[in-house]
Structure 1
Amino acid sequence: MTTPAFEPIHVPANQPAQFYRGGEAIAALRGAAGSQEFGPEDWVGSTTTLFGKDSEGLSRLPDGRLLREAVTTDPQGWLGAAHVAKFRDSTALLVKLLDAGQRLPVHFHPSDSFAGEHFDSHFGKTEAWIVAGTSGDDPTVYAGFRESQDLATIDEWVREQDSPSMLGALNSIRVRPGDTVHIPAGLPHAIGAGVFVVELQQPTDFSLTMEWRDFLDSPDKGHLGIGFDTALRALDTSGWDDERLGTIVRNTGDDRSSTVDLLAPGASPFFRADTLRPGGGALALDPSFAVLVVLDGSGELRTGQGSVPIAKGDTLVVPHGAGELELTGEATVIRCRPPAA
């Protein structure tokens, strides 16, 4: 039986300052009057802080509580017993709206084991991108080296800050709305200007940035204090040909099904994502902690307590304790969830 405390909750924009430009697509989606020049990331339903910060990045609920405090106060109500047995009081998920107003630098993220050894964290930072919109003539993302690279060569690129070589060594992938890319830990990558994504991540802020010059204040922020000699041990230096890229890239934009599983199979141990389109009917959603992003249209989330209206630009957190939901209306919703427990 649910209680009024466990209902889907609208959460406001949460845009901690970043080092790169962007934010117009986020403002347009939310129907906001303007955007921060350096507000390219909206951390939705976040219980994660920026690296080295005490509270920046945390989402606050409409009643004033931090979401992190609400979850840790009642983890079973928010996350469910099976999830708590596996992940304790962590949501095991960070969702962002990311609008690249300029190309992001070439960077990569640590695995769980590397993060445990060097950052005292249970989680590394595997991530995935769901392309929600694009602008410009050539919306492009970059993922994986086209050919296997020698670590000594990469080390030289980093020391010399040879941006053309770093970027030129990566696969460039032209994208359109509905495309998704799973980024395993260690994979070098970047997002090009004009690409707007819903991004799912493990709940950390560990970015090891090879191409730090003209982006970050110092190389220390690129290697997060562990030194590039150590950081580069987490880098995937292997080659990714078209066949291998096919295991992490999906093209779902033409699939108009009521429920579309968005991510490549390799993402399932880390998170899950679906596009939901009730199409004027109703979709039953099983109990789960979730973050919802409404990309278009309007509708309702019906619960045992009543209904919650939703519309384009809304972002919501859904506690497991809300029980089974019914999504109705003419809406397009991205549902992001932690891995199945």
Structure 2
Amino acid sequence: MDTTAVPLPLPANQPRQFYRGGGSIAELRGTDGAAEYGPEDWVASTTSRFGFAESGLSPLPDGLLLRDAVQRNPQEWLGAEHIAAFGDSTALLVKLLDAGQRLPVHCHPSDRFARQHLGSRFGKTEAWIVVGTAGADPVVYLGFREDVDAATVARWVGTQDSSTMLGALNRIPVRPGDTVHVPAGTPHAIGPGVFLVELQQPTDFSITLEWEGFLSGAEAAFLGLDQETALHTLNRSGLGDATLAELITRTGDRGGARIPLLAESAVPFFRAERLQPGGGIELEPSFGVLIALSGHGRLDWSDGSLPLHRGATIVIPHAAEPVRLVGDCTLVHCRPPAPQL
């Protein structure tokens, strides 16, 4: 099977989740109907769901899994510098996430915790790019407002005191163009009606503090670890206004052909820009993911081109250079961290 690395359009890839949503993904992509439990579209994913062999992996148009294509031809897909830093991992997971209901309070492990307890070089730092909202009061929740001791957290989790856990978090109203960096260990939740492009390290590791009403039971909440061990990765420190200001970026009113989207603290983990190419933008060589939010345009490279339209998702290999975007359209361009970081 041909594994030549060229830019390729990707179909929706929505493995069933435990929470509702997916209507905004269907509307963006222009498809009929939405799976009630399809709130996540894993775009250009080489990551499988925790506990599954292939669920979550993205197929290419010819049926080959992107994971397998990259492993067979890492030099073309990723480039030599990336491989030297990250091996044959893309070092990136991108999702469209449409919260049809509030997500539970949860957090993700750090790289150090993942190496020690989960056998992975990657934890799960993530970032959210808000691309749509619905309802009167779209919000996300990020970090505890005040320091919380370990015994208090253990009691909240043990008794499943959902209202207290949620009430202890910073409640942040959001609108399209807002971005939020979520460092590993930070407790968080996403409110109903918030539609995101989500960048993550390439794992499916979640420590679910609020599992009642969401998961089958406590045994599904901690990645196979005991509660005490799992909660060691939780950041129990309060996040004040100064820290939140460093994690949250408001970009909705910014114009220009290329708008950096993420906080400086997110750059060691992933990169993202909003692109409005007009007469043309050339992309530097890199593995990347394009998500078209509006309009029409075209992606050109040395020996081919692809049309761009609202809802299109495209994976770009390093070897496709030079890649040029043209057209009256708005896109989000997601990339792994620069290899030197």
TM-score range, shorter chain: over 0.9
Within 5 Å, give how 1:114-129 maps onto structure 2: 114-129=113-128
CA deviations on 1:259-306 (whole Å, 9 max, x unpaired) are 00000011111100000001x310111111001100000101111113
Q: Counterpart of 1:197 in 2: which secondary structure?
A: strand
Q: CA deviation at 1:308?
A: 1.2
Code of the aligned partner of 1:310: L
Q: Counterpart of 1:49 in 2: which secondary structure?
A: coil
Gaps of 5+ in 1: none
Q: CA deviation at 1:64?
A: 1.0
CA deviations on 1:75-130 (whole Å, 9 max, x unpaired) are 01100000000111000000000000000000000000100111100100000000
Q: CA deviation at 1:257?
A: 1.1
CA deviations on 1:134-183 (whole Å, 9 max, x unpaired) are 00000000000000111100100000000011000000000000000000
Code of the aligned partner of 1:101: G
1:30 aligns with 2:20: no
Within 5 Å, give how 1:126-275 maps onto structure 2: 126-275=125-274
CA deviations on 1:295-328 (whole Å, 9 max, x unpaired) are 0001011111132111000001000010121100
Q: CA deviation at 1:4?
A: 9.9
Q: CA deviation at 1:46?
A: 0.3
Distance 1:324 1:99 in 2: 33
Distance 2:262 2:62 in 1: 33
Code of the aligned partner of 1:324: P
Q: What root-mean-square deviation, in Å, do the aligned CA atoms of Structure 1 and Structure 2 show?
A: 1.0
Distance 2:100 2:179 in 1: 19
**Amino-acid identity (%):** 59
Q: Which runs of 4+ in 1 moved over 4 A?
A: none
Q: Hey, what does 1:336 align to over in structure 2?
A: 334
Task: Verify the 8 A CA contact 1:58 1:68 in the aligned structure 2.
Answer: yes
Code of the aligned partner of 2:318: H
Code of the aligned partner of 1:122: R
Code of the aligned partner of 2:327: G
CA deviations on 1:21-52 (whole Å, 9 max, x unpaired) are 00000000000101000000000000000001
Code of the aligned partner of 2:138: P
Q: Counterpart of 2:189 in 1: which secondary structure?
A: strand
Q: Counterpart of 2:113 in 1: which secondary structure?
A: helix
Q: Hey, what does 2:45 align to over in structure 1?
A: 46
Task: Verify the 8 A CA contact 1:18 1:40 in the aligned structure 2.
Answer: yes
